[in-house]
Structure 1
Amino acid sequence: MTALPDNALLRPAASSPQRLGDLAAALDLAPAPATADGWGAAEVRGVVADNRRVRGGELFAAIGGAHVHGARFAPAAVAAGAAAVLTDPAGADLLAAGLGVPVLVTPDVPAVLGRLAATLYGEPGRALGTFAVTGTNGKTTVAFMVDHALRALGRTTGLVGTVEVRVAGRAVPATLTTPQPDELQALLAAMVEAGADDLVMEVSSHALALGRVDPLVYDVAGFTNLTQDHLDFHGTLEAYFQAKASLFTPRRSRRGVILVDDVWGRRLVEQARAEGAAAVALAVAAPPEVPADWRVGDVRADATGTAFTLTHRDGRALRTATALPGGFNLANAALAAAMVLESGVDVAALQAALDAAGGLSPVVPGRMEQLSERPRVIVDFAHNTDALAQALAALRPTTAGRLVVLFGAAGERDRSKRPDMGRVAAEAADVVVVTDDDPHDEPPAQIRAEVLVGARAVSGATVDEIPSRAEAIRTVVLGAGEDDTVLVAGRGHETVQEIAGTPHHLDDRDEVRAALASRTGGPTA
């Protein structure tokens, strides 16, 4: 796979120019008072909301920010080649002196940005089969599994998510789970241009609440689960749920596959159907009395993975497996398979494709990623209470020695989950090492102390505190016995640790590999 520069913005190499007058009429945009006559004949070739990404000929979207209005950057955008500016009334006032290019005004720029970008890039979402995955945990793994299945079927895919953005074999590290509206539509246009058949996306609750995916309507949306997370943004668990639920409405998806193993999934099925959505229920661990369209059975797990049968109530059945460990990855694999089948793929075709591909076992960076066998060292993104508990539960049955977990909690995020994370770690592991995650601008010692309150309230486990994450990783890996399992949790694929506003390079996987290399004889993988 070809890696693009980290700051690359994937856009189509070519796009047709469109007249401002036509765009204004279609989207109810008005010229600013100072805009000269004849503005409607001006042409633009795309839209960007970041002046640093202007290549020439775009419409620059100047959005009001919490501290600085985007209109302040309009002169720089024009100097870089922007052909016009879109802003709100406050931004238009800042630009009253004139820029030498047309200025259009709308009351709410973010609300119109996605529709504008889709129009400018020729509605690329309509040319793709589109899959979306949301939920607290498992989004990345399910997205990789859907992408894996589609490629096994011979399709060319685009992938957008937490770990990376991929366009027909070209990849660039992701900066947001879901890109901003202008970037997303440009990505879709690049996918169409590159010959992609399908789009697979992780869709975050933030993106849904902020309208970043609008006006895209997905062919199939999938729901994994809901547990406490992101309450710093949403405020309440109910608001968090409703943000996720908005994906399963006719406005945002044509069909939804919803895992009903928890009460939130069962509630979501009822709510989606009440709103006129086509909602399909999937049961993996749910009891038999829970109604389901697809159900998992004949589960057989061993050291190589988990095989299962996915059966529809109409009798259709698929037998496949995943090498990724844990019951949660069984659920992830079942959801991915059901999503592909609900898109219209024939069961026999998917069966043959997955048989040839060895099941649903893609390599997912930083998701239960095993870096060594003796000792077994695994890096995982588990960064909330439920994900941490599930990861440890998945590893315990196959750990002959001690189960060691190293983790922290992010700063300036939901503080209420910190003692709970400490508690579940101490309940499930033999050794708990609390270290730093991403403190951001919060004192790291304060974060660790709140995690340690929960960990030290549980008797039985050994609980240590090592502030430096690199030192903590080295300590636990060097101290592990050959039969031990070490889970390095919380950051997964991430490579930048932010401390007091300063970014530092830190890749848990690199630190693990360096520590393994220091062990006598090196790692056994």
Structure 2
Amino acid sequence: MSEPSQRAVDFVPMNAPDAPVARTTAELADLFELQAHGSATATVTGVSLDNRDVRPGDLFAALPGAHTHGAVHASAAVDAGAVAVLTDEDGLRRLADLAGRDVPVLVAPDVRGVLGGISAAVQGQPAQRLRTFGITGTNGKTTTTYLLEQVLSHLGRTTGLIGTVELKVAEEHTPARLTTPESPQIQALLARMVGAGVQDLVMEVSSHALALHRVDGIVYDMVAFTHLTPDHLDFHGGMEGYYRAKASLFTAARARRGVILADDEWGRRLAAEAEIPVVTIGSQTPPTQPDPDTDWLLTIIASRPDHTTFTVTHRDGRSLSTEVWMPGRFNAANAAVAVVMAIESGISIGDLHHALAHGLRGNVPGRMERVADHPRCIVDFAHNTEALDLALKALRPTTKGRLFVVFGATGERDTAKRALMGEVAVARADVVVVTDDDPHDEDPAQIRTAVMVGALRAVPAAQRAGRTVDVFEVAPRATAIRRAVQFAGPSDTVLVAGRGHETIQEIAGVEHHLDDRDEVRAALDGGAR
């Protein structure tokens, strides 16, 4: 949902990475044009951003932070086995505790700007030994990543995956904490993948990761853009900055070829501005009309409650029809991006037709995930205005009764979208339950009030259209879910939106276990309505 700051220890409790390529501090200084301080030299076998996770032989990267500089932890890192420190000029001035310890210090103007390259060099450039796919966009990254990984697996490839939900090395899985981890963890994970025989890496690439250089050290073989809508604007300073971060993935420094879903102005702009060769996907489903210059055309054949049949057709006549076992046009678009990425990477349509004989199964945790049937209960990660709108529009045609939505807004993030989300909920649903998402350190009641302002503002328009919409404010979230599910009838649909696969809710700095899927099941097991 957002890019919180997490300890590196939360990354991957897997086996230790394969043996890295030892690099001396002198070699690193020469390769990356760093200032070297101190007379000592050391052999570096790993990189760490957190002194609590340092292993013997690590280079400790001391970065400036929001509240303190990482250099204040350098002494503890050395005590834990770090053999050298990488920092900036400000950090160098703060290394008083290292005086007399003869630890080499490497200084860069922008530590993040060199950290990915250094991490890749120490791990032996593992990305160069994998076929790499990267996917960016506001919504759809996780779903598209999972679907592409399924396509490649159906073709007999050994895959690795890095994303919001989990990290996968061949058959080994572990939960993820960041959409895109920090560069030292990414490079160590890629080295593990190489050692495990992985052939293809499929990876979500967030705007934070691009802006903060987390994916430096990787030049992707194929990248994709789903679409862009307002999100993370507090971090990027506006839509232009947000777009520029995403667009940086489509430069020669980061990728070789690209696929762009060109159904909105941002996709069309990116197609025109990309530095690398790209192909575009357009849709002929109203209200969008395809650009006549579109390379691939997505056509929806049939939409059903649990799956969507579609065709992708190239301008040269090549075509592939299949289905994705997820509802909604937007999921068909995600699946189309995955299929076209596979084709454009060199996989034949004949091989894909055989591999996708039974369609794409979906099974993406927390992405339009059906938890129950009577009432139909769906848990989805929709956490911004556009995603919420798309999810509700996808469910409306196949809802025989009332459409419920339970949602909230994240604290300390994009305050402008709160009222807009309330408006969208009333415009699309019959019963709107406003509750808490992750308040973080903000007052939950204040967040709910901002959402309710938009919801109540939209009620008169719904009434003028002849619709009756019930709006409730219920907290805590578990109670809101329980009341919505128990109030719904067998033919109703309940969408629980905003958190998807997440199982931790942060309130005033305290983490609480909360899984929307478990709460739905508990509500259904709670007896008569």
TM-score (norm 1): 0.94
Describe the superposition over 1:261-287 as per-residue Cα deviations: whole angstroms up to 9, x where unpaired: 111111111111xx3x10111012442
The equivalent residue for 1:199 is 201
Establish whether residue 352 from structure 1 lines up as the match of residue 370 from structure 2: no
Q: Tell me if structure 1 keeps the 8 A contact 2:139–2:228.
A: yes
Partners of 1:474 and 1:104 lie apart in 2 by 55
The equivalent residue for 1:262 is 264
Correspondence 1:30-49 to 2 at 5 A: 30-32=35-37, 35-36=38-39, 39-40=40-41, 42-49=42-49
Unaligned runs of 5+ in 1: none
Secondary structure of the 2:519 match is helix
The equivalent residue for 1:323 is 325
Partners of 1:313 and 1:364 lie apart in 2 by 31
The equivalent residue for 1:222 is 224
Q: Tell me if structure 2 keeps the 8 A contact 1:8–1:172.
A: yes
- Cα separation, partners in 2 of 1:304 and 1:104, compared to 1, 3 Å: closer
Partners of 1:175 and 1:434 lie apart in 2 by 26
The equivalent residue for 2:278 is 279
CA apart distance, 1:482: 0.7
The equivalent residue for 1:134 is 136
CA apart distance, 1:158: 0.9
The equivalent residue for 1:444 is 444
Unaligned runs of 5+ in 2: 1-8, 460-467
Partners of 1:169 and 1:47 lie apart in 2 by 26
Among candidates 12, 20, 25, match of residue 15 of structure 1: 20
- Cα separation, partners in 2 of 1:98 and 1:68, compared to 1, 3 Å: farther
RMSD: 1.6
Partners of 1:24 and 1:439 lie apart in 2 by 43
CA apart distance, 1:520: 4.3
- Cα separation, partners in 2 of 1:259 and 1:210, compared to 1, 3 Å: same
CA apart distance, 1:215: 2.7
Q: Tell me if structure 2 keeps the 8 A contact 1:6–1:172.
A: no
The equivalent residue for 1:496 is 504
Correspondence 1:42-441 to 2 at 5 A: 42-96=42-96, 97-272=99-274, 275=275, 277-284=276-283, 285=285, 286-297=288-299, 299-355=301-357, 358-441=358-441
Partners of 1:170 and 1:222 lie apart in 2 by 25
Amino acid at match of 1:511: E
CA apart distance, 1:316: 1.6
The equivalent residue for 1:472 is 480
Partners of 1:266 and 1:163 lie apart in 2 by 29
Partners of 1:451 and 1:245 lie apart in 2 by 31
Describe the superposition over 1:400-422 as per-residue Cα deviations: whole angstroms up to 9, x where unpaired: 11100000000111111111110
Amino acid at match of 2:281: L
Amino acid at match of 2:30: A
How many pairs does the alignment contain? 507
The equivalent residue for 1:513 is 521
CA apart distance, 1:509: 1.1
Secondary structure of the 1:482 match is coil
Partners of 1:290 and 1:259 lie apart in 2 by 14
CA apart distance, 1:289: 4.3
Q: Tell me if structure 2 keeps the 8 A contact 1:139–1:224.
A: yes
Partners of 1:287 and 1:424 lie apart in 2 by 23
CA apart distance, 1:100: 4.0
Percent of residue pairs bearing the same amino acid type: 57
The ranges of structure 1 where at least 4 consecutive aligned residues each deviate by more than 4 angstroms after the TM superposition are none
TM-score (norm 2): 0.93
Partners of 2:495 and 2:300 lie apart in 1 by 29
Describe the superposition over 1:91-114 as per-residue Cα deviations: whole angstroms up to 9, x where unpaired: 222224143432222222111100
Q: Tell me if structure 2 keeps the 8 A contact 1:470–1:511.
A: yes
Secondary structure of the 1:334 match is helix
Q: Which has the larger displacement, 21-30 or 512-521? A: 512-521
Partners of 1:298 and 1:7 lie apart in 2 by 39
Amino acid at match of 2:493: T
CA apart distance, 1:304: 4.4
Partners of 2:263 and 2:527 lie apart in 1 by 42
- Cα separation, partners in 2 of 1:263 and 1:7, compared to 1, 3 Å: closer
The equivalent residue for 2:33 is 28
Describe the superposition over 1:200-247 as per-residue Cα deviations: whole angstroms up to 9, x where unpaired: 111111111122111311111111111111111111111111111111
